[in-house]
Amino acid sequence: MAALPWIGLTFATVFVAEMGDKTQLATVLMSAQGKSPWSIFLGSASALVVASVISVVLGEGLSSVLPPAVLELAAGIGFVGIGLWVLWRQWRGESNDVEA
């Protein structure tokens, strides 16, 4: 039963983080085409499960060689770095749009 709070916390965190995310929007757009909504659900859910497994394995491996403070610092630097990169691209007028 000790795992139950972690399951709830993880579910809530991932659920809220995915709201309005590119993955969710892509899934909505594919489903809106009406081709095969259950196939789209299975593909999307499978991708999230695989990405989560990779994240958990990497996190567990890193936590065995690095202290939590180093991991937190690295994550913070990563988030700030990505934010600065996005701002830099916006400032330079670079687009993220993909031409078909």
Q: Is the pTM of this model over 0.85?
A: no
Q: Specify the residue for token string 């913070």.
A: 76
Closest C-alpha among 73, 28, 79, 22 to residue 51: 22
Confidence of residue 4 (pLDDT cuts 50, 70, 90): confident
pLDDT of 43-88, one tens digit each? 999 999 999 999 999 989 998 999 989 999 999 999 999 999 989 9
> Tokens representing 50?
């695989």
Q: What is the DSSP string of 27-94?
A: HHHHHHTTS-HHHHHHHHHHHHHHHHHHHHHHHHHHHHHS-HHHHHHHHHHHHHHHHHHHHHHHHTT-
